[in-house]
């Protein structure tokens, strides 16, 4: 059974995103660009007609997701509710290291390794099966259209599951920061906030 409509948002750019440092369960503040992304996505959701009478708002309790969710809550009149299942995948011993530092200590077995596969081998990291279990559990619990503010890898897992695909097809689902992924009836639409003027509704 397909979940209700979901609008999946990755948090805005953070200081650690900008310099290529692994975050996982750790946190870093939004950059000026990240704050602008959060407000832009909030305005876009309001332009789409997202409001408290029709939609819920769940967000990861991690600081960068909360900082992205709050402008959305204000713009759309939604009550922001933290949900642990929206946390980012744990990256174990890589958390806090730069990509270069992690690669020096734990070299990739394949120089052409897909970036998603790196997460699967993070030492003491969260298994893909555990993240899959939490996102599928969350989707099964939704009873109304919902805005979900989360993280890059958790977003991919959420959307893969919501599209009815298996975990083996993660690589087929695109990522993105500063955009809104809207999934309805098993179909995904990527919404660029720049394409929506304030006050313009969309069907």
pLDDT at 35: 98
| Number of helices and strands in the chain (H, E) | 7, 6
| C-alpha span between 150 and 8 (Å, rounded) | 7
Q: Is 15 annotated as a binding residue?
A: yes
Asked whether the beta carbons of 57 and 76 are under 8 A apart, the reply is yes
Q: Is 135 exposed, middle or buried (0-12, 13-18, 19+ CB in 10 A)?
A: buried
Residues whose CB is less than 8 angstroms from the CB of residue 27 and which lie 6 or more positions away in sequence, other chains included: 14, 62, 63, 64
Does residue 12 contact residue 30 with C-beta atoms inside 8 Å? yes
E strand or H helix at 132:
helix 128-141
Catalytic: which of 11, 55, 59, 151?
11
Indicate whether 201 pLDDT > 90.
Answer: no
159 labelled ligand-binding: no
Candidate list 5, 55, 59, 88, residue with the active-site label: 88
pLDDT tens readout for residues 23-50: 999 999 999 999 999 999 999 999 999 9
Q: Is the pLDDT of residue 166 over 50?
A: yes
- Residue 94 clears pLDDT 80, i.e. is over it: yes
88 is catalytic: yes
Pick 18 or 111 by higher pLDDT: 18
Q: Does 14 show up as a binding residue in the annotation?
A: yes
Give the orientation angle of helix 63-76 with respect to helix 32-47, to 10 degrees. Answer: 30
Tell me: pLDDT of 202 over 50.
Answer: no
Question: pTM to 2 decimals?
Answer: 0.93
Q: Is 17 a known ligand-binding residue?
A: yes
pLDDT for the residue 2: 78
Nearest-angstrom CA–CA distance, 64 and 185: 29
Higher pLDDT, 77 or 203: 77
Asked whether residue 16 is marked as a ligand-binding residue, the answer is: yes
Residue with tokens 């555990």: 130
Task: Give the start-to-end residue ranges of the domains of the chain.
Answer: 6-195
pLDDT bin (cut points 50, 70, 90) of residue 195 is: confident
pLDDT surpasses 60 at 198: no
Tell me whether residue 114 is one of the annotated catalytic residues: no
What pLDDT sits at residue 199? 40
Residue 197 has pLDDT above 60, yes or no: no
Three-class SS of residue 198?
coil
Q: Does domain 6-195 have CATH number 3.40.50.1240?
A: yes
Tokens linked to 166: 């298996």
Tokens of 201: 């509704």
């Amino acid at each position: 059974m397909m979940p209700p409509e979901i609008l999946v948002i990755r948090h805005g750019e953070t200081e650690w995103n900008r310099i290529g440092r692994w975050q996982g369960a750790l946190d870093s503040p939004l950059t000026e660009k990240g704050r602008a992304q959060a407000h832009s996505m909030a305005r876009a959701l309001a332009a789409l007609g997202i409001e408290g009478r029709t939609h819920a708002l769940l967000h990861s309790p991690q600081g960068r997701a909360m900082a992205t969710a709050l402008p959305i809550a204000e713009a759309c009149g939604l009550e922001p509710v933290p949900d642990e299942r929206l946390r980012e995948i744990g990256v174990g011993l890589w958390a806090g290291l730069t990509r270069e530092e992690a690669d020096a200590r734990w070299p990739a077995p394949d120089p052409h390794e897909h970036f998603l596969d790196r997460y699967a081998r993070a030492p003491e990291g969260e298994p893909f099966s555990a993240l899959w279990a939490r996102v599928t559990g969350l989707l099964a619990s939704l009873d109304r259209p919902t805005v979900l503010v989360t993280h890059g890898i958790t977003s991919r897992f959420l959307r893969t599951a919501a599209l009815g695909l298996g975990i083996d097809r993660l690589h087929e689902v695109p990522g993105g920061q500063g955009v809104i992924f809207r999934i309805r009836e098993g179909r995904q639409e990527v919404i660029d906030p720049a394409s929506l003027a304030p006050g313009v509704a969309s069907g």
